[in-house]
Amino acid sequence: MAILSAENIVLNQQLGSKEEAIRATGQVLVDRGYVEPAYIEKMLEREQLTTTYMGNFVAIPHGTEEAKSAVKESGISIIQVPDGVSFDGNEVKLLIGIAGKGDEHLEILSQIAIVCSEEDNVLQIVNASSKEEILAMFDEVN
């Protein structure tokens, strides 16, 4: 996955709330130049419409349809939360923020789904001690 690089991965974070988790995930996308700061608010809006918790300790925060104008280029951020953060009672240990230009988010989501459909893979990512280990897991999908 070319749009994922080591700079987009944040290891061993402790996040106190779902909102804090979404903001942190979005901030990586902002800091790396994928999205305008306004995208973070659209990520929070999306979460109010429907949860981005996907099961297997994974949440995939992303913006609403209206947020597309705030996307400069497609990108992914990954935040590892070994102690977990609650998404409405569901424990999330892996946050994957996505921003897609046009329909690219669909391809990004399918690649994430392949990796994260196996709980063992998710736990391997959550327990990874290096960004390279995480990158390697996503590279296997391509």
Sheet holding 90-99, edge to edge: 9-10, 75-87, 90-99, 58-59, 53-55
Side-chain-side CA neighbours of residue 61 (13 Å) = 30
Distance between CA atoms of 13 and 21, rounded to whole angstroms?
Answer: 9
Name the catalytic one among 42, 46, 62, 131.
62
Name residues whose C-beta falls within 8 Å of residue 38's C-beta, 6 or more positions apart in sequence. Answer: 67, 70
**Catalytic annotation on 105?**
no
Alpha-carbon span 142 to 123, nearest angstrom: 20
Q: How far apart are CA 113 and CA 91, in angstroms?
A: 18
Among 50, 39, 24, 51, CA closest to 101: 39
Q: Catalytic positions, please? A: 62
